[in-house]
């Protein structure tokens, strides 16, 4: 029986969460990501495409800002003064935590955080960062690359009737309801999201990874060790790709850096595998050479005895 993701908040009445794929198939074996055709071969290519997209958007943002500064020097000066004011206010009071809470409240996640009990702020201590924090999402966010998670392993929302409540992501509408004749429920794929910008996307990703690890543990006894390692590598690579997609909706530079770290780690892992293979081959050659030497010594001893 599928496990429900933990800590999901404020689902509609009579609605529930389920994992699309079954824990075990008809033969009692767990489903695996490597069974999804060309997924294994496409991970590195899709990760590279995601990095190119994040890096290009970061460059475009900087170039557009520089162009606006050249076109409107008065606005550039005003922006500079605004930055200086924000820096001064930050040195007077720690606003980072309150800004993070305000951003969470701005997301369409239906999360209600308690109001922070702080004294009234007057004069230079008034926090004005919300003037720049509440900007609309850039147009490029609508072009976030698709997720690598196969359709058979996505998380579904079940409901007796379809609805258009923007429950997940940045106010996404939900036109993809389908009727399941087996469960007699309407189903909507809610993970992965086309625009993964909400806290629920992170919670669902965590639940998805836990569910896939459980599947792998259930079938590890019937698989060879190298197959288990290969499946685990594929799982965490796909999870890293999805996490980078989520980071890109808030900060292109952070997503690009996360992707570069993942890429470097994978290259290091491949080098370690090559070194391990070389060491094993060297030991095999040494054993063979030692066996040949022992055989030659025995032959020589037998010849001398005769």
List per-residue pLDDT tens for the chain, 306 residues long. 445 444 454 566 666 666 665 544 545 455 566 555 566 567 667 677 777 777 766 555 555 555 555 555 555 566 666 677 666 666 555 555 566 555 655 554 444 444 444 455 554 455 555 444 444 444 455 567 788 887 778 788 888 877 665 444 444 445 678 888 888 888 877 788 878 878 888 888 888 888 888 888 888 888 888 888 888 888 888 888 889 888 888 888 888 888 888 888 888 888 888 898 889 889 989 998 888 888 888 877 777 766
| Residue 185: per-residue pLDDT | 83
Tens digits of per-residue pLDDT, 153-212? 878 888 887 766 544 444 444 567 888 888 888 887 778 887 887 888 888 888 888 888
pTM here is 0.56
- SS3 readout for the chain: CCCCCCCCCCCCCCCEEEECCCCECCCCCECCHHHCCCHHHHHHHHHHHHHHHHHHHHHHHHHHHHHHHHHCHHHHHHHHHHHHHHHHHHHHCCCHHHHHHHHHHHCCCCCCCCCCCCCCCCHHHCCCCHHHHCCCCCHHHHHCCCCCCCHHHCEEEEECCCCCCCCCCCCCCCCCCEEECCCCEEEEEEECCCCCCCHHHHHHHHHHHHHHHHHHHHHHHHCCHHHHHHHHHHHHHHHHHHHHHHHHCCCHHHHHHHHHHHHHHHHHHHHHHHHHHHHHHHHHHHHHHHHHHHHHHHHHHHHHHC
Domain ranges of the chain: 16-25+45-267
Residue 31's pLDDT is what? 59
């Amino acid at each position: 029986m599928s496990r429900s993701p933990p800590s999901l908040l404020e689902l509609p009445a009579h609605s529930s969460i389920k994992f699309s794929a079954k824990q075990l198939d008809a033969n009692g074996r767990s489903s695996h990501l490597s069974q999804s055709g060309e997924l294994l071969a496409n991970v590195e290519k899709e990760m590279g495409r995601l990095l190119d997209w994040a890096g290009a958007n970061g460059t475009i943002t900087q170039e557009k800002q520089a162009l606006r500064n050249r076109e409107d020097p008065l606005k550039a000066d005003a922006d500079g003064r605004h930055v200086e004011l924000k820096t001064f206010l930050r040195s007077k009071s720690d606003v980072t935590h309150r800004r993070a809470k305000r951003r969470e409240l701005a997301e369409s996640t239906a999360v209600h955080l308690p109001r922070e009990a702080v004294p009234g702020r007057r004069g230079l201590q008034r926090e004005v960062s919300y003037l720049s924090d509440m900007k609309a999402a850039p147009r490029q966010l609508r072009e976030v690359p698709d997720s690598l998670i196969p359709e058979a392993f996505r998380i579904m929302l079940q409901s007796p009737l379809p609805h258009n409540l923007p429950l997940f992501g940045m106010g996404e509408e939900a036109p993809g309801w389908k009727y399941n004749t087996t469960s007699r429920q309407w189903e909507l794929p809610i993970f992965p999201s086309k625009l993964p910008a909400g806290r629920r996307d992170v919670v669902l990703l965590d639940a998805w990874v836990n569910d896939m690890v459980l599947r792998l543990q259930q079938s590890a006894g019937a698989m060879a060790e190298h197959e288990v390692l290969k499946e685990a590598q594929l799982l965490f690579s796909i999870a890293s790709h999805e996490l980078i997609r989520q980071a890109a909706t808030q900060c292109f530079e952070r997503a690009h850096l996360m992707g570069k770290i993942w890429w470097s780690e994978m290259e290091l892992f491949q080098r370690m595998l090559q070194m391990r293979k070389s060491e094993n081959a060297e030991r095999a050659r040494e054993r063979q050479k030692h066996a040949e030497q022992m055989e030659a010594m025995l032959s020589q001893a037998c010849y001398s005895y005769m």
